[in-house]
Amino acid sequence: MTHSTPDDFERFDSVPCNTEVYLQLLTPTQPIRLRTRLIGIHSRRAVLLEFGSDRHWLAAKPYIKEDRGVIVRLLNSDDPSGHVFAFRSTISRIMSAMYQWIVLEYPRDLEQLALRQHSRLQVNVPAQLQANDSTHKVSDGHICDISIGGGAFIGKDLGEDCVDKHYSLKFTDDRDGRSTVLPVTIKNQQFIDAENNLTHYGLVLNCSQQETEALVQRVILRHLIQELPGKQPLSEETKAGEDKGAPAADQ
């Protein structure tokens, strides 16, 4: 992974207070995933998060302690490029005065993606592609890349010419079980794996720019929150079948 530059940290320091944060506690058995909000960033010194109070936080409280390793992911929605940041850190202190805060060590390195750039961002989000016509045909698979201009889905072949037809792309939040539906049109399809009956579908989203940004953000955050320690950096992650040369709809 490329080491972060001073500009990267300056961009990170500008993330506004109250930004939603995805916090992952690293435990010996399995990671614990929580949501909270950013209290503030003290440049080169510390990152402050709110200590949550919902049932997920209550269940995780025995594991929230000093020196606990964590992975943090957040989106700077005020940034014109919509940067998504991810970094590893350690809980350095838990503060309990008028409010409860978690103090994290300032990151030594950052992973980041620019949400609003039109470049394809590789992701791996389990999803379903369902026809909007009377057949309601369903393909189980995963979203393999996404951008504001479109995306791609690899799944079971639907057994028909799908180009220019309307579908619903559905995925479920890994933590709260909430479903998200993306209205899409298939712009190209390519059969890529006869043994497993897999087809690559290039997609465009059928919604406004603002709605598209919100939906793409959910896809990226869904991808980020499911990552486990030890996986490759975001920019290097691939899935079998994604390197077979099939185009996305926005290329």
Q: Among 122, 136, 163, 138, which Cα is nearest to 249's?
A: 163
Judgement on whether residues 147 and 201 belong to the same structural domain of the protein: yes
Judgement on whether residues 134 and 187 belong to the same structural domain of the protein: yes
What pLDDT is stored for residue 236 in this prediction?
38
Q: How many domains does the chain have?
A: 2
Judgement on whether residues 105 and 128 belong to the same structural domain of the protein: no
Judgement on whether residues 62 and 135 belong to the same structural domain of the protein: no
CATH of the domain at 44: 2.30.110.10
What pLDDT is stored for residue 239 in this prediction?
37
Domain membership flag for residue 67: yes
CATH of the domain at 183: 2.40.10.220
Judgement on whether residues 105 and 153 belong to the same structural domain of the protein: no
Domain membership flag for residue 243: no
Residue 140 tokens, joined: 């189980």
Residues 97-108: b if buried by 16+ CB within 10 A, e if exposed? eeeebbbbbbbe
What pLDDT is stored for residue 152 in this prediction?
95
Global pTM reads 0.62
Length of the chain: 251
Domain membership flag for residue 1: no
Domain membership flag for residue 244: no
Domain boundary among 56, 90, 114: 114
Judgement on whether residues 125 and 231 belong to the same structural domain of the protein: yes
Judgement on whether residues 164 and 81 belong to the same structural domain of the protein: no
Judgement on whether residues 163 and 87 belong to the same structural domain of the protein: no
Judgement on whether residues 131 and 222 belong to the same structural domain of the protein: yes
Judgement on whether residues 125 and 223 belong to the same structural domain of the protein: yes
Residue with tokens 């929580």: 34
Domain membership flag for residue 166: yes
| E strands present in the chain | 20-25, 32-42, 46-50, 69-75, 83-96, 100-105, 111-114, 121-131, 138-147, 150-156, 166-172, 179-193, 198-205
- pLDDT per residue of the chain (251 residues) written in tens, 0 to 9: 457 889 889 989 999 999 989 899 999 888 788 989 999 999 999 999 999 999 999 999 999 999 999 999 887 767 666 678 889 999 999 998 778 999 999 999 988 776 666 567 888 999 999 998 877 889 999 999 998 888 999 999 998 889 999 999 999 865 556 788 999 999 999 999 989 999 999 999 999 888 888 888 888 877 876 653 444 443 333 333 334 444 555 54
What pLDDT is stored for residue 216 in this prediction?
85
Contact present, 25 and 71 (Cβ < 8 Å): no
What pLDDT is stored for residue 76 in this prediction?
75
Domain boundary among 80, 114, 148: 114
Judgement on whether residues 90 and 135 belong to the same structural domain of the protein: no
Judgement on whether residues 145 and 177 belong to the same structural domain of the protein: yes
The domain in which residue 102 lies consists of: 6-114
Domain boundary among 114, 132, 151: 114
Domain membership flag for residue 249: no
What pLDDT is stored for residue 117 in this prediction?
60
d(CA 119, CA 116): 9
